[in-house]
């Protein structure tokens, strides 16, 4: 097992693995998978066990630990929107330059609204900026995801880490998940996704363009 990078954040410590092909990567302990499935149970998000496992891979996989128990993960891929969504979205011109694809995030209910998500977002965007990538993108039905990315980019702009950013119009992905994915539709004070049909599993594709220094 290699601790490739650790970042302290109060009581939650991040453990970063690079080049993870699947959840069966030997660096991921079986008990961590169980703990991640437990995170799902208190998160308000109801993917199947297989859905959760299938998301555990990426160019960078970050696990958050509190008292040696996993309380969340996120994964990113360095790809272009065209590579990721080309087969799914055919009625929009998708950027073909590489960027940071926010491929999956899940945080235990007890670790939400703790600053952990924001710290992970900053790390994810910074990794792309360091590579000279100016696109950040994801698909989601959770307005907290869009709001969180905007908060991160606002603070990076304030700190002078990026010059500016803009978001393309959201692309509506009808019945992307094919079923209801949230016990209750997630809400955010600044961003509304009220147009989505949560029962049908609708989502949005969102793409941010950054102006780098
Ligand atoms: C999406 C998800 C990762 C976001 O994490 P989160 O912790 O809820 O998000 P945030 O850190 O942005 O926190 C939400 C709110 O708490 C606030 N907050 C953050 N840290 C805080 C702190 N230390 N004290 C008080 N409030 C805080 C944030 O400002 C934010 O409020 P705002 O949007 O009104 O500004 C999490 O909700 C989750 O795992 N959801 C289920 C899985 C899911 O939907 N994944 C996405 C699938 S695509």
Under a CB-based contact definition with an 8 Å cutoff, are residues 126 and 161 in contact?
yes
Q: How far apart are CA 71 and CA 64, in angstroms?
A: 6
Residue 119 in domain: yes
Q: Is 16 inside any structural domain?
A: yes
115 CB within 6 A, ligand 1: yes
Helices (H), the chain: 30-43, 49-54, 81-85, 116-130, 143-158
Determine the average pLDDT of the residues in 171-198. Answer: 97
Q: Is the CB of 1 under 6 A from ligand 1?
A: no
Q: Per the structure, how many domains does the chain have?
A: 1
C-alpha span between 99 and 74 (Å, rounded) = 16
Asked whether residue 200 is assigned to any structural domain, the reply reads yes
CB of 10 within 6 A of ligand 1: the answer is no
Per the model's pLDDT, the better-predicted residue between 190 and 6 turns out to be 190
Model confidence pLDDT, tens digit, residues 44-60: 999 999 999 999 999 99
Query: Which residue, by CA, sits nearest to atom 46 of ligand 1?
Result: 105
pLDDT bucket at 8, cuts 50 / 70 / 90: very low
pTM of this structure? 0.94
pLDDT tens column, 122-158: 999 999 999 999 999 999 999 999 999 999 999 999 9
pLDDT for residue 164 is more than 60: yes
Residues of the domain holding 65: 6-211
* Interval between CA 93 and ligand 1 midpoint (Å): 31
Query: What confidence score (pLDDT) does residue 10 get?
Result: 52
Q: Does any ligand 1 atom lie closer than 6 A to the CB of residue 112?
A: yes
**CATH number for the domain that contains residue 138:** 3.40.630.30
Of the pLDDT bands very low, low, confident and very high (cuts 50, 70, 90), residue 11 is: confident
Does 3 score more than 70 pLDDT?
no
Query: Has residue 1 been placed in a domain?
Result: no
Residue 135: inside a domain: yes
Which residues lie below 8 Å from residue 128, measured CB to CB, with a gap of 6+? 76, 78, 99, 100, 134, 135, 136
In a domain, 199, yes or no: yes
| pLDDT value of position 7 | 47
192-207 pLDDT tens trace: 999 999 999 999 999 9
Judge if the beta carbon of residue 109 lies within 6 A of ligand 1. no
The answer, yes or no, to whether any atom of ligand 1 lies below 6 A from the CB of 106, is: yes
Contact 57, 20 (CB under 8 A): yes
Query: What would the pLDDT profile of 76-127 be if each residue is shown by its tens digit?
Result: 999 999 999 999 999 999 999 999 999 999 999 999 999 999 999 999 999 9
Q: Residue 4: is its pLDDT beyond 70?
A: no
Compute the distance from residue 148 Cα to the ligand 1 centre, in Å: 7
């Amino acid at each position: 097992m290699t601790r490739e990078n650790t970042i302290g954040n109060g009581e939650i410590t991040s453990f970063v693995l690079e080049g993870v092909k699947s959840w069966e990567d030997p660096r991921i302990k079986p008990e961590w998978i169980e703990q991640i499935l437990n995170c799902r149970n208190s998160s308000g998000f109801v993917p199947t066990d297989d859905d959760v496992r299938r998301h555990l891979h990426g160019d960078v996989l970050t696990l958050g630990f509190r008292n040696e128990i996993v309380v969340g993960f996120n994964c990113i891929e360095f790809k272009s929107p065209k590579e990721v969504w080309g087969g799914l979205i055919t009625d929009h011109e998708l950027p073909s330059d590489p960027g940071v694809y926010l491929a999956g995030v899940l945080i235990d209910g007890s670790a939400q609204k703790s600053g952990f998500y924001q710290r992970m977002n900053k790390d994810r965007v910074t990794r792309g900026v360091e590579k000279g990538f100016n696109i950040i993108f994801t698909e989601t039905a959770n307005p907290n995801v869009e709001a969180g990315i905007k908060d991160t980019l606002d603070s990076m702009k304030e700190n002078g880490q990026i010059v500016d950013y803009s978001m393309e119009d959201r692309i509506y992905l009808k019945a992307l998940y094919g079923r209801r994915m949230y016990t209750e539709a997630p809400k955010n004070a600044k961003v509304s996704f009220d147009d989505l049909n949560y029962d049908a599993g609708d989502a949005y594709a969102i793409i941010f363009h950054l102006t780098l220094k």
